[in-house]
Amino acid sequence: MRANVRVEGVDEARRAFRRLPKEAKKSLRDRTRDLSEALASSARRAGMASDAQSAAVAGLVKARRGETPFIAGGGTTRVTSTSTPAYKIIFGAEFGSNRLKQFRPHRGKLGYWLFPTVEREKTKITKAWLDVADDVIKDFTKGGA
């Protein structure tokens, strides 16, 4: 499962990075990983505080390295006492289900813990990423972009 957030100005910043040396891109990915880890940590805490199924898969939410903050969760790791693969639980734990009674009621696109956490943290993470991008651009250009 991936949580994507659209942010104004990101496409322009990414285009600017194409003109910079590889070291700048590596610096951006390294510093962005810290932001991704902060978001993943918040999502894990929210999942642990939600319900048993969410707690079972919350520990699998991980930061991924990229140009922009990115987290992912799920996978084939077996969780719960029935050794069910996480990918079979994470969507029901996040969005619920009206057909499968082991999950909470379906909430559509709202989600119970992962997506609300991403939405709540979006402004803070966006501002931090734009600050990181500005710093990296200044470090690798004369006088900034």
Residue scoring higher pLDDT (134 or 98): 98
* Residue 50, phi then psi, degrees to nearest 5: -80, -90
Residue scoring higher pLDDT (51 or 20): 51
The pLDDT tens digits of the residues spanning 58-83 come to 999 999 988 889 999 989 999 988 89
Interacting residues of 63 by C-beta distance below 8 A, sequence separation 6+ = 33, 36, 37, 39, 40, 70, 71
Query: What pTM did the predictor assign?
Result: 0.84
Q: Judge whether 5 lies within some domain.
A: no
The CA distances from residue 13 to 20, 45, 60, 130, 132, in Å, are 11, 31, 30, 8, 11
Domains identified in the chain, total number: 1
Q: Which H/E stretch holds residue 15?
A: helix 10-18
Interacting residues of 135 by C-beta distance below 8 A, sequence separation 6+ = 31
Q: Judge whether 4 lies within some domain.
A: no
Domain of 29?
Answer: 10-139
